[in-house]
């Protein structure tokens, strides 16, 4: 073995040993601020590298890709079993430590947000921040300053949510069907205790989540959602 | 804004790769950063910054094995965490202190066993180990290392000279830790 090969081998051993040491440490519960920043970063990441538009792509295809924007959100959660259909247009497929939500029948729905919705209930005490807004998504955070308590509301086009990654690892409550303001949806709770409602108005996919929050309180907030742009 | 989505379309695989790396390695990256900065907030910032770097270099991550992914990500986040720490402690720049020609020549003449090299690797500072691992174990060029670690190419060269001097040491304390 020449010097270079010795260095390479020794450095590989050292790296393996370093990684083993790091991995011994307990897992970290990432802050919500971090998760939101990462969600934004991953959704916008490639624009850091590629600014020019190279070709015209059919909108539907663009939306299907953009659906991944919703990924990495700990907002949508479930559990790990097999694939199952919640109802006609919602289908969830479970893998070992995540699930994928598929929404069908997107053709007749608005391709962009033609109306904007938000929580209508009294949110005094919370600070409202619009964390992301474009033609396809509208994300609002409500935080109580100096506490870990948060509520989030999301509105997306059906196209955006056509295929969404769900963090279902060790979920406390698997997705189960609920009705929100007369619309079909599902409720679930992730391993950190965040409760989430996702429902389908036919035109848009809406979701409300929070932690700590009871299912009843979350349902009350979800049912208060109203149009805000008229 | 449509432009933004269209620009994503060409890079679906890259996006999925970033997601994969994020889901599978964020804990390891956090623990690596925390071991250096000892602050959960700074460690999260380091992971975030590391992913900015990963996105810039995502094309390289298609050819890596799982072990290589882990190694690269640890190196990237470790470098960032060290920079954070250095900024906090106002340490001097790496390229201000070069090993002397005598040191390098003396080190070049030494013949070492693999056991000696293993011991010397432990004497490398994390920053030097990062650069040396990318250069020797992963066979990246100096310019590729500079890009991945966001360093000046001269700093990479100096780091490699220092690392080599440490790796070739025999029976004396490391001067470049």
pLDDT at B102: 57
Structure confidence by residue, pLDDT tens digits, B29-60: 999 999 999 999 899 999 998 988 888 778 77
Q: How far is B96 from chain A (nearest CA, A)?
A: 25
Average pLDDT over chain B reads: 77
Asked if pLDDT for residue B110 goes beyond 90, the answer is no
Which positions in chain B touch A37 (Cβ < 8 Å)? 48
Q: Any idea which fold B13-89 has?
A: Rna Polymerase Sigma Factor; Chain: A (1.10.1740)
Residue A120's pLDDT band (cuts 50, 70, 90): very high
pLDDT, one tens digit per residue, over B80-105 is: 999 888 877 654 444 445 555 555 55
In the prediction, which pLDDT does A150 show?
87
pLDDT for the residue B2: 21
Which among A11, A22, A52 has the least Cβ separation from residue B28? A22
* Chain B contact for A216 (CB, 8 A cutoff): no
Contact residues on chain A for B3, CB-CB shorter than 8 A: 53
Tell me the residue range of the domain where A107 lies: 55-227
Q: How many angstroms separate the CA of residue A100 from the nearest CA in chain B?
A: 14
Closest Cβ–Cβ partner in B1, B4, B136 for A4: B136
Inter-residue contact A53 to B6 (CB < 8 Å):
yes
Say what the pLDDT of residue A167 is: 67
Model pLDDT for residues A95-119, shown as the tens digit of each residue: 666 666 777 777 788 888 999 999 9
The verdict on a CB contact (< 8 Å) between A50 and B10 is yes
Pick the CATH number of B94-167 from 3.40.640.10, 1.10.10.10, 3.40.50.880, 3.40.50.300: 1.10.10.10
pLDDT confidence bin for A224, thresholds 50/70/90: very high
Residue A1 pLDDT: 67
Q: How confident is the model at residue A61 (pLDDT cuts 50, 70, 90)?
A: very low
Rounded-to-integer distance, Cα B118 and Cα A135, Å: 56
Highest-scoring range by mean pLDDT, A85-94, B112-121, B155-164: B155-164
- Section A9-18 average pLDDT: 90
Residue A55 has pLDDT above 50, yes or no: no
The answer to whether position A7 is within a domain reads no
Whether the Cβ atoms of residue B156 and residue B163 lie closer than 8 Å to each other: no
Q: Indicate whether this model's pTM tops 0.95.
A: no
Minimal Cβ distance to B137: which of A15, A54, A65: A15
**Burial of A66 by CB count in 10 Å (0-12 exposed, 13-18 middle, 19+ buried)?**
buried
- Work out the mean pLDDT of chain A and round it to a whole number: 75
Whether A37 and chain B come into contact, CB under 8 Å, resolves to: yes
Q: Is residue A45 part of a domain?
A: no
- Same topology for domains B13-89 and B94-167, yes or no? no
Nearest CA of chain B to the CA of A130: how many Å? 17
Q: Which pLDDT value is given to residue A34? A: 84
Is pLDDT at A74 greater than 70 in this prediction?
no
Band (B1; pLDDT cuts 50, 70, 90): very low
Which of B122, B136, B150 is best to mutate for the A interface (most A CBs within 10 A)?
A: B136
B114-120 own/partner pairs: CB under 8 Å, 24+ apart:
B114/A1, B114/A6, B114/A9, B114/A10, B116/B170, B117/A3, B117/A6, B117/A7, B117/A10, B117/B167, B118/A10, B118/A13, B118/A14, B120/A10, B120/B166, B120/B167, B120/B168, B120/B169, B120/B174
pLDDT at residue A182 in the model = 93
Given a cut of 60, whether residue A219 has pLDDT beyond it is: yes
Question: What is the distance between the terminal CA atoms of chain A, rounded to a whole angstrom?
Answer: 75
State what percent of residues in chain A have pLDDT above 90: 20
Give the mean pLDDT of A52-70.
30
A38 has a chain B CB within 8 A of its CB:
yes
Whether the predicted pLDDT of A71 surpasses 50:
no
Q: Mean pLDDT throughout B63-68?
A: 75
Q: Which of B27, B58, B114 sits opposite A1 (nearest CB)?
A: B114
pLDDT grade, residue B28 (50/70/90)? very high
Q: Is the pLDDT at B77 greater than 90, yes or no?
A: yes
Statement: residue B66 has pLDDT above 90: no
Tell me how many domains chain A contains. Answer: 1
The answer to whether the CB of B10 falls within 8 A of the CB of B43 is no
- Asked if pLDDT for residue A169 goes beyond 90, the answer is no
Task: Quote ipTM for the complex.
Answer: 0.79
B121–chain A Cβ distance below 8 A for any pair: yes
């Amino acid at each position: 073995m020449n010097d270079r090969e010795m260095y390479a081998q020794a450095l590989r051993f050292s790296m393996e040993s370093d990684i083993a040491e790091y991995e011994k440490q307990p897992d970290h519960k990432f802050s919500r601020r971090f998760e939101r920043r990462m969600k934004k970063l991953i959704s916008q990441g490639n624009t850091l590298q590629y600014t020019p538009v190279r070709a015209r792509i059919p909108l539907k295809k663009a939306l299907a890709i953009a659906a991944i924007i919703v990924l990495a959100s700990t907002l949508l959660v479930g559990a790990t079993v097999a694939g199952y259909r919640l109802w006609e247009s919602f289908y969830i497929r479970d893998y070992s430590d995540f699930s994928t939500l598929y929404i069908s029948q997107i053709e007749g729905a608005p391709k962009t947000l033609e109306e904007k919705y938000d929580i209508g209930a009294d949110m005094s005490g919370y600070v409202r921040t619009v964390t992301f807004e474009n033609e396809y998504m509208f994300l609002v955070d409500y935080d109580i300053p100096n506490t870990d308590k948060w509520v989030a509301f999301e509105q997306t086009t059906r196209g955006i949510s056509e295929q969404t990654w769900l963090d279902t690892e060790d979920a406390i409550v698997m997705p189960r069907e609920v009705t929100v303001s007369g619309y079909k949806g599902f409720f679930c709770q992730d391993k950190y205790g965040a409760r989430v409602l996702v429902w389908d108005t036919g035109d848009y996919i809406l979701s409300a989540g929070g932690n700590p929050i009871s299912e009843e309180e979350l349902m009350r907030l979800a049912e208060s959602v109203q149009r805000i742009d008229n | 804004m449509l432009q933004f989505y269209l620009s994503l379309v060409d890079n679906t695989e890259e996006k999925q790769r970033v997601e994969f790396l994020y889901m599978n390695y964020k804990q390891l990256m956090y623990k690596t950063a925390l071991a250096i900065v000892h602050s959960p907030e700074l460690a999260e910032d380091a992971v975030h910054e590391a992913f900015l770097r990963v996105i810039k270099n995502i094309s390289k991550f298609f050819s890596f094995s799982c072990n290589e992914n882990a190694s690269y990500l640890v190196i990237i986040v470790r470098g960032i965490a060290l920079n954070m720490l250095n900024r906090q402690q106002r340490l001097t720049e790496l390229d201000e202190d070069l090993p002397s020609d005598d040191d390098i020549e003396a080190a070049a003449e030494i013949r070492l066993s693999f056991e000696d090299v293993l011991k010397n690797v432990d004497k490398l500072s994390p920053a030097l180990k990062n650069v040396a691992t990318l250069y020797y174990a992963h066979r990246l060029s100096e310019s590729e290392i500079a890009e991945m670690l966001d360093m000046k190419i001269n700093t990479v060269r100096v780091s490699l000279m220092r690392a080599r001097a440490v790796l070739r040491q025999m029976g004396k304390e490391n001067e470049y830790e």
